């Protein structure tokens, strides 16, 4: 692995899961690996779990960490090529990425979708520009269309919590009043579809009509528009809101019946509830679900540390 | 000591003072204690001394430090239970605290009083929620009603600077145009009253009428409404502004005669001046006082490092 | 060296250049030097290179680093002496600097010119107050009138890239719509004039009329108002915008002909292009120049790490 931008950079999900679980069992075993190595964590957007878990994972590996909030600690960055820079952005990503690449051995970047221009968001401009200009490995800390560190943590969590060899996993849309990116849902589909291929899970997607995800992400996963039907027999319910992909960035419905309650969870095979957090309680999921023993959300967030550590360990190993 | 939320968590003030002074004499003696331990410092409000001194103390002990400004680095946090989260706060403290508790061995929290709802502030909701949900030791970096790391630094400072066995300590209200929390004054009363009990100090409080502190904090301390009378024979003058507790959060007077000048200090027994900082010069205290050899404010702030180090050392020791 | 505020604090530019190049060749050779030493990096303004390169250099030397954005992480700071502090600034630099000096072994400060009051800016109030009150070595991370860590990195870069013993270096003004400080240009003049004295370079300044720099900085350097004439035979073109010193803080022209293009660069002796970054592409310099092999801007920024490391190493050595 050089970069970790998407599943395409991963040789073996199973190896990463096992590496993550090994780190969880013995966090400081590889502390020499990161000695005198520096990761820069660059945030264009807010972060709690990603900020803390990636920093922690890097420190477990003996790395130094430098954090920067773009536009707050530093200047705003221009991403477009060939423009006359007479606006509010004082620096171009060509320089910023190249310079950071000279100070850092690895760079993590968080840059959300703007939800204005679908083609632009789906081109993943920021990740690709950093990968091009920084000339050091880039780790996706959630990009416009993907959140692979989350998806790997999700895989680790399912692996730990599954009670059957091939559990049924359901991704369900949840209601929200604000337009949110598709990144977590896209990425979860991408990774689950790979887990279907390797025989590890069955995977179903459910959402209201109009919330179809991009075909390249949803792939061959069955899409069921009736949430109750989808939940039947499920071992894992993975909740997430996203705005429309087809009517890009729009909130088409806030139908509260799509929020997950204990009644919904009771339709499953004593299924576990997962969510990447942050989650708005009682808007997307009821208190009762989140506070029940069936909720995995805290363990899932805790596994972000081990997902990051598995990825950083592999990148550090390849740095030589 | 598990948590360090208030004096109630302290077994022995004397032991903490001695531990702090030992750290001051030999800052790096316990550097193995914090190896591979991480403290998260979470700020809902601005900080200079607390931010730097607690970070420094943790590093002296060999710990890793992760800093986060809530609402700036991360999302805003909902503190109320059972609510429909359809406002501007994207995450609930139940999740945020539980997740941070998985990444951190100790969590420090700063969350000031809002000065709108007295019952709410005095319930110390934020500290208690973090203590409940994080499941790791919580250190109070100044809460709605207390600032115990400051009070311990104050005790260390008095111990270092006292010229008599049982000095007279006076807490005096200072004028200010903005409504400030009662936390530092409350906490100072709480700790001084304990020092009175153990025979270490005499303690008097002075302020204009209407600025009475909460009875549970002021305790049996004599309250004198005439500042000059209170200052007579004092060995330490501890200045602080606070807004009214009885007419909660209000500024009842800005009477400049309550500001401390050299004339006031000359009423004392060659008394030392203390203030937790930041202090507005010439509004609350004159330049002459702050720049005189009688001012202890810098040494007092310096002692924040040793107060934090004593507390973290005890918590780390108990972590096992 | 105690402080590093300006060239006046430097014993030998050559020694610092050699120390920087040695650090570049072997970054971790002096890792014991900074053990248990802490640098505080205090920012009144945005930063990318300075923030990251100084942090990295300190970590290379084994130091702990504490970062603080004034007015964002902490309170605003009052710089004026003797004032009644009834405005928006909650703390005076006398206390803030003195306290930071107790937590830090070295303090780095960034505080740009305000461009309102020339005398005030050129008095370098913030640097001098920190140097006076902090009582630990102060490193200038760009002040109102100077940016010496940049100038040292510039000297290192010229030393590395020069093809002749005594290259011709040209500082050229570049157009910009916003008023920018003179600090980088001043400092570059100050250091280049010293390099002229020691026989290392020839140095010429070119800018439109009205953009004359302060006499104490431009010194004996020839000033040529015709950019093409100045560029003839140049080995290094150093581009920078600054606002007027004589009509203080004003933008007198935005004449785009002063932007550097390949046509301009072709007037030189196959000259290299330098800029401290951030640079607005196509406003100040064309894409073609910045992306050409003649551009040194990334190497120059990379050398900020080694410039900071040379300075910190010397200060640490002198700390004893």
Region B150-300: CATH code: 3.40.50.1370
* pLDDT reported for residue C67: 96
* pLDDT reported for residue A129: 96
Establish whether A265 is an annotated binding residue: no
Q: Which residues of B touch A (CB under 8 A)?
A: 36, 38, 40, 64, 66, 68, 72-75, 78, 82-86, 90-92, 94-96, 98-100, 102-104
CB-CB under 8 Å, B59 with C73: no
**pLDDT band (50, 70, 90) for residue B74:** confident
Q: Which of A52, A72, A298 sits opposite B66 (nearest CB)?
A: A52
Closest C-alpha to B85, from A290, C35, A136, C265: A290
* pLDDT reported for residue B71: 85
Residues from chain B that touch C107, judged by Cβ atoms under 8 A, are none
Distance from CA of C42 to the nearest CA of A (A): 11
Instruction: Annotate A67-134 with DSSP letters as a single string.
Output: EEETTTTS--EE-STT----SS--EEHHHHHHHHHHH-SEEEEE----SS-HHHHHTTHHHHHHHHHH
* pLDDT reported for residue A11: 97
In the DSSP assignment, the letter for residue C271 is P
CB-CB under 8 Å, C43 with A91: no
With 80 as the cut, is the pLDDT of residue B320 above it? no
CB-CB under 8 Å, C43 with A90: no
**Distance of alpha carbon A8 from alpha carbon B98, whole angstroms:** 32
Who contacts C242 (Cβ-Cβ below 8 Å, separation ≥6)? C173, C180, C181, C182, C184, C185, C211, C213
**pLDDT tens-digit readout, A234-266:** 999 999 999 999 999 999 999 999 999 999 999
CB-CB under 8 Å, B283 with C92: no
With 90 as the cut, is the pLDDT of residue B73 above it? no
CB-CB under 8 Å, B73 with A47: yes
Distance from CA of A101 to the nearest CA of C (A): 9
Backbone angles phi, psi at C277, to 5 degrees: 65, 150
CB-CB under 8 Å, A102 with C301: yes
Distance from CA of B67 to the nearest CA of C (A): 10
Report, as an integer, the average pLDDT of B78-84. 94
**pLDDT tens-digit readout, B8-20:** 999 999 999 999 9
Sheet (strand A64-69) strand order: A64-69, A38-43, A106-110, A138-140
Closest C-alpha to A94, from C290, C133, B150, B23: C290
Average pLDDT, chain B: 97
Residue of chain A minimizing CA distance to B97: A298
Other CB atoms within 10 A of residue C164 CB: 9
Residue pair C150/C158 in contact (Cβ under 8 Å)? The answer is no
Establish whether B51 is an annotated binding residue: no
**pLDDT band (50, 70, 90) for residue B76:** confident
Report, as an integer, the average pLDDT of A24-48. 97
Residues from chain C that touch A86, judged by Cβ atoms under 8 A, are 177, 280, 283
For the CA atoms of A2, A6, A9, A10, what is the dihedral angle to 10 degrees?
A: 120
**pLDDT tens-digit readout, A62-76:** 999 999 999 888 888
Residue with tokens 């310096």: B302
* pLDDT reported for residue A72: 86
Residue pair C194/C7 in contact (Cβ under 8 Å)? The answer is yes
To test the contact with chain C by mutation, choose from B281, B285, B296 the residue with the greatest count of C C-beta atoms within 10 A, namely B281
Domain residue limits, chain B: 7-146+304-319, 150-300
CA angle, A21 as apex, A15 and A23 as ends, to 5°? 100
**pLDDT tens-digit readout, B274-300:** 999 999 999 999 999 999 999 999 999
CB-CB under 8 Å, B78 with A49: no
Residues from chain B that touch A44, judged by Cβ atoms under 8 A, are none
Distance from CA of B126 to the nearest CA of A (A): 17
Q: Which of A66, A78, A92 sits opposite C55 (nearest CB)?
A: A66
- HSE-CB at A161 with a 13 A cutoff on CA atoms is 25
B296 is written with which tokens?
């202890």
Query: Rg of chain A over CA atoms, in angstroms?
Result: 19
Residues from chain B that touch C37, judged by Cβ atoms under 8 A, are none
**pLDDT tens-digit readout, B214-252:** 999 999 999 999 999 999 999 999 999 999 999 999 999
Backbone angles phi, psi at B13, to 5 degrees: -60, -40
Residue with tokens 């780095």: C108
Establish whether C142 is an annotated binding residue: yes
CB-CB under 8 Å, A86 with C281: no
Distance from CA of C219 to the nearest CA of B (A): 40
* pLDDT reported for residue C284: 96
Residues from chain C that touch B280, judged by Cβ atoms under 8 A, are 85-86, 90-92
Establish whether C304 is an annotated binding residue: yes
Percentage of chain B with pLDDT > 90?
Answer: 98
* pLDDT reported for residue B214: 98
Residue with tokens 């002075």: B206
* pLDDT reported for residue C72: 86
CB-CB under 8 Å, B90 with A278: yes
* pLDDT reported for residue B260: 98
Four-residue CA torsion sign, B260, B261, B266, B267: negative
Q: Which of B47, B281, B302 sits opposite C74 (nearest CB)?
A: B47
**Which positions of chain C have pLDDT values less than 50?**
none
Q: Which of B27, B51, B302 sits opposite C68 (nearest CB)?
A: B51
With 90 as the cut, is the pLDDT of residue A193 above it? yes
CB-CB under 8 Å, B59 with C40: no
**Distance of alpha carbon B264 from alpha carbon C231, whole angstroms:** 68
Four-residue CA torsion sign, A206, A211, A212, A216: negative
Q: Which of C280, C291, C301 sits opposite A90 (nearest CB)?
A: C280
Could you tell me the fold of the domain covering A7-146+304-319?
A: Rossmann fold (3.40.50)
Pairing between β-strand B223-224 and β-strand B202-206 as defined by DSSP bridges: parallel
Q: Which of A40, A75, A92 sits opposite C52 (nearest CB)?
A: A40
Residue pair A252/A244 in contact (Cβ under 8 Å)? The answer is yes
With 80 as the cut, is the pLDDT of residue A320 above it? no
Closest C-alpha to C283, from A87, A96, A77, A95: A87
Long-range CB pairs of C246-250 (<8 Å, 24+ gap) are C246/C210, C246/C212, C247/C210, C248/C115, C248/C118, C249/C113, C249/C115, C249/C116, C249/C118, C249/C179, C250/C179
* pLDDT reported for residue A97: 97
Residue of chain A minimizing CA distance to C61: A36
């Amino acid at each position: 692995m050089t970069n970790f931008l998407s599943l395409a950079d991963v040789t073996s999900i199973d190896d990463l899961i096992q590496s993550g679980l090994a780190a969880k069992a013995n966090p400081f075993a590889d502390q020499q690996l990161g000695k005198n190595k520096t990761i820069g964590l660059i945030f264009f957007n807010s972060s709690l779990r990603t900020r803390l878990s990636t920093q922690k994972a890097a420190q477990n590996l003996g790395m130094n960490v430098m954090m920067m909030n773009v536009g707050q600690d530093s200047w705003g960055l221009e991403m477009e090529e060939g423009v006359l820079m007479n606006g509010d952005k004082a620096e171009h990503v060509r320089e910023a990425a190249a310079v950071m690449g000279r100070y850092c051995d690895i760079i993590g970047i968080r840059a959300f979708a703007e939800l204005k221009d679908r083609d632009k968001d789906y081109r993943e401009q920021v990740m690709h520009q950093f990968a091009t200009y920084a000339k050091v490995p880039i780790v996706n800390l959630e990009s416009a269309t993907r959140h692979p560190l989350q998806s790997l943590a999700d895989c680790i969590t399912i692996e730990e919590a599954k009670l059957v060899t091939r559990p049924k996993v359901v991704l369900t849309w949840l209601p929200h009043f604000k337009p949110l990116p598709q990144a977590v849902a896209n990425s979860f589909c991408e990774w689950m579809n790979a887990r279907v291929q390797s025989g590890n899970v069955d995977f179903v997607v459910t959402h209201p009509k109009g919330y179809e995800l991009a075909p390249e992400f949803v792939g061959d996963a069955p899409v069921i528009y009736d949430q109750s039907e989808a939940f039947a027999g499920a071992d894992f319910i993975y909740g997430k809101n996203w705005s429309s992909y087809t009517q890009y960035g729009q909130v088409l419905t806030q139908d509260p019946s799509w929020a997950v309650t204990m009644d919904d969870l009771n339709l499953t095979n004593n299924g576990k509830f997962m969510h990447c957090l942050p989650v708005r309680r009682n808007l997307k999921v009821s208190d009762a679900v989140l506070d029940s023993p069936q909720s995995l959300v805290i363990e899932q967030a805790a596994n972000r540390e081990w997902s990051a550590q598995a990825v950083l360990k592999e990148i550090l190993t390849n740095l030589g």
